Amino acid sequence: MKTNIYGYRSQNKGLVDDIFMAAWFYGLKLLGGRQARHIWLDVKLTKDLKKNSGGYAFCYITGEVNKPREFEIELDASMKFGLEEILKWLAHEMVHLKQFVKGELCDYENKKVQWKSKLLSDDMCYEDMPWEKEAYRLETKLYNEFEEWYYES
């Protein structure tokens, strides 16, 4: 996976190194080495993202929509948030990246979303969205595996 990290706090080498390694680890776990090496990922660190947009993190397809391989993940890197929170949000968004790459999730402009083989409306309650349920289910598991590998090995 080719990863570029920029934006607010990107001069903090320790933070950037941790995010870089976590993105690589999550990509490998979720996609496998063969698929992960074809992914281009920009990670944008933003101040006050939650305050300004309502979310702590977002995943966007920036390249070809039909066979996505280029992405941007935007993370709230405000000083009030710790590294653990930021890396869990990254794990959550990496699950969405995996969903897009594997064709499990496709967001249409007509307010419809394809989740696996089902066509759904995107106006359902956030907590009921199956792609969000999967991301929440996996974010802590991924983070804990990364933490064990990165900090204890």
Q: How many domains does the chain have?
A: 1
Residue-wise pLDDT tens digits, 101-129 = 999 999 887 788 999 999 998 888 999 99
Asked if residue 46 lies in contact with residue 74, where contact means CB atoms within 8 angstroms, the answer is yes
CATH code at 121?
3.40.390
- Structural domain of 88: 2-152
pLDDT at 153: 65
Phi/psi region, residue 105 (left: phi>0; alpha: psi -120 to 50; beta: rest), is beta
Q: Is 118 exposed, middle or buried (0-12, 13-18, 19+ CB in 10 A)?
A: exposed
Residue-wise pLDDT tens digits, 48-63 = 999 999 999 999 999 9
Kindly state the tokens that stand for 75: 């993370």
pTM over cut 0.85:
yes
